Amino acid sequence: MEMKPQDGRRSPPHREVPPVVGLLLAMAVMNGLLYLCLDRFFIAPRRSALDPQHCPYGHFRMGQMNNCSAWLSCEELRTEVRQLKRVGEGAVKRVFLSEWKERKVALSRLTSLEMKDDFLHGLQMLKSLQSKHVVTLLGFCEDDNTILTEYHPLGSLSSLEATLNLSKYQAVNTWQQRLQLAMDYVGIIHYLHHSPLGTRVMCDSNDLPKTLSQYLLTSNFSIVVNDLDALPLVNHSAGALVKCGHRELHGDFVAPEQLWPYGEDVPFRDDLMPSYDEKIDIWKIPDVSSFLLGHVEGSDMVRFHLFDIHKACKSQTPAERPTAQAILDTYQKVLNSLRDTVTSQTREML
C-alpha cells in the first residue's frame, strides 16, 4: 500500500487527504494483515497437532519426543521422577509438579485409601481413553497409588480468564480462539458419549467451578480432559442409566432430572432418586461455552448466533436436547460464517 503519489496527475487529490486518513488506512491494513496472520498461526496449525493416538496402547509421546515410549513402571516412577512442588489437590488425589528426564510432568498421588476405588476407576478410564481429547498418560504404579501425566503449565480452565488476560496472550484472546475452545470442550463431551468404553457421563460437574477444574488448557490453546474419576456408563440398549453420586443435588447448573423430584416434604433417599442419561452433559454445555466465550469483542455476537442451539440444550425433556455432534456442527457453521463476514469486512476496509 504505497501512500506516495505515483505521478504529477494523481498527486493533487493525495495532498488533500489529511495525514490522519492515511494513518487510519495504514492501521486498517495492519489490522487486516494481523488478522490473517493470527488466523494462520494461532488457529490453523494447532488443529494438526500430533495425536497421542499415534502411539500403540501402553505407549505415549509428548512435546518434541520423536518416538513412542512405554508407560513408566513402578520402578521407573520411583527412580526417575523427581517431585518438585504441590500444584493441586482434589478429593481423590494430590498433584505435584515433577521432573522426568528434564521434562516437567504431573505426578498424582491418592490422598486417602478410602478413595482408592475412584482412583483406580480414573486410571482405568485414562488408560482406555487416551486420545487428543484426554491428558496424556505417562505411567502409573498401583502399588504406590501414583499416576504420571503430561504437565500443562497453563493449568485448568478455572484460570482461563487470568491466563488470557496476560499481555503475552492478548493476541489469542479473541472470539475466534474462544469459540474454538468451546468446540474443543463440546468435542470432548462428544468423545465421552461415543468412547471406546461406551457412553460415558461426566459426573464431576455439579457446578461451574468444579466442571472447569476438570479440564486443562494446553500451551497450544486447546483443551484436554484431565480428571476421569467419575465417568459412569450409560447403556441404552441394556436400559442402564446413571446417577452422579448418592447425595441430593441443588441449583440450576445441574440438569433438572438430577434434582430430587418429590418436593421438600419428602426427605431425599438415594434409592428413590431416579437415574438419568448422558443428556445431563448437554444441559451444562451452554453455561460452560458462555464462560469460555468470555467478554471480548465479538463474544456477544457469537452468543447471539448460538442462542437457538443453546436454548435446545436447556430443554426440560432430556430426549429433546441435541447431541454433542449437532452442537459441534452448529458451532462450526457459526465459526465459518462469522469468520467469512469478518474477513469480507476487512477486505472492504482495504
Asked if 235 is part of the footprint of ligand NAG (rule: CB under 6 A), the reply reads: yes
**Among the listed residues 165, 316, 337, 344, the single contact to ligand NAG using CB under 6 A:** 165
Q: Are 133 and 187 in contact (CB under 8 A)?
A: yes
Which CA distances in Å does 111 have to 88, 108, 332? Answer: 11, 9, 41
Q: Helix %, strand %, coil % for the chain, to 5?
A: 50, 15, 35
To ligand NAG, the closest distance from the beta carbon of 11 in angstroms equals 45
Q: Are 169 and 181 in contact (CB under 8 A)?
A: no
Pick the stretch among 99-107, 159-167, 201-209, 252-260 that binds ligand NAG (CB under 6 A): 159-167
- Cα distance between residue 148 and residue 96, in whole Å: 10
Cα dihedral 245, 248, 251, 256 sign: positive
**Among the listed residues 9, 238, 264, 265, the single contact to ligand NAG using CB under 6 A:** 238
To ligand NAG, the closest distance from the beta carbon of 77 in angstroms equals 20
Q: Which of 144, 149, 70, 141 is nearest to 103 (CA)?
A: 149
* Closest to ligand NAG by CB, 63 or 209: 63
To ligand NAG, the closest distance from the beta carbon of 237 in angstroms equals 5
Pick the stretch among 20-28, 43-51, 299-307, 322-330 that binds ligand NAG (CB under 6 A): 43-51
Q: Which three cell numbers stand for residue 81?
A: 521422577
**Among the listed residues 23, 24, 26, 50, the single contact to ligand NAG using CB under 6 A:** 50
86: β partners: 96
Asked if 170 is part of the footprint of ligand NAG (rule: CB under 6 A), the reply reads: no
To ligand NAG, the closest distance from the beta carbon of 183 in angstroms equals 16
- Cα distance between residue 73 and residue 70, in whole Å: 9
Show Cβ contacts of residue 347 under 8 Å, excluding neighbours closer than 6 positions: 32
Which residue bears the cell 496449525? Answer: 45
To ligand NAG, the closest distance from the beta carbon of 168 in angstroms equals 12
- Cα distance between residue 207 and residue 211, in whole Å: 6
Q: Which three cell numbers stand for residue 274?
A: 431416579
Asked if 161 is part of the footprint of ligand NAG (rule: CB under 6 A), the reply reads: yes
Pick the stretch among 82-90, 231-239, 288-296, 299-307 that binds ligand NAG (CB under 6 A): 231-239
* Closest to ligand NAG by CB, 240 or 342: 240
- Cα distance between residue 119 and residue 29, in whole Å: 54
* Closest to ligand NAG by CB, 54 or 311: 54
Q: Are 63 and 50 in contact (CB under 8 A)?
A: no
Asked if 317 is part of the footprint of ligand NAG (rule: CB under 6 A), the reply reads: no
Asked if 11 is part of the footprint of ligand NAG (rule: CB under 6 A), the reply reads: no
To ligand NAG, the closest distance from the beta carbon of 62 in angstroms equals 7
How many Cα neighbours within 13 Å face the side chain of 31? 14
- Cα distance between residue 42 and residue 223, in whole Å: 14
Asked if 67 is part of the footprint of ligand NAG (rule: CB under 6 A), the reply reads: yes
**Among the listed residues 237, 267, 271, 317, the single contact to ligand NAG using CB under 6 A:** 237
* Closest to ligand NAG by CB, 60 or 253: 60
Asked if 45 is part of the footprint of ligand NAG (rule: CB under 6 A), the reply reads: yes
The contact set with ligand NAG (CB under 6 A) reads: 45-46, 49-50, 63, 66-67, 161-162, 165, 198, 218-220, 235, 237-238
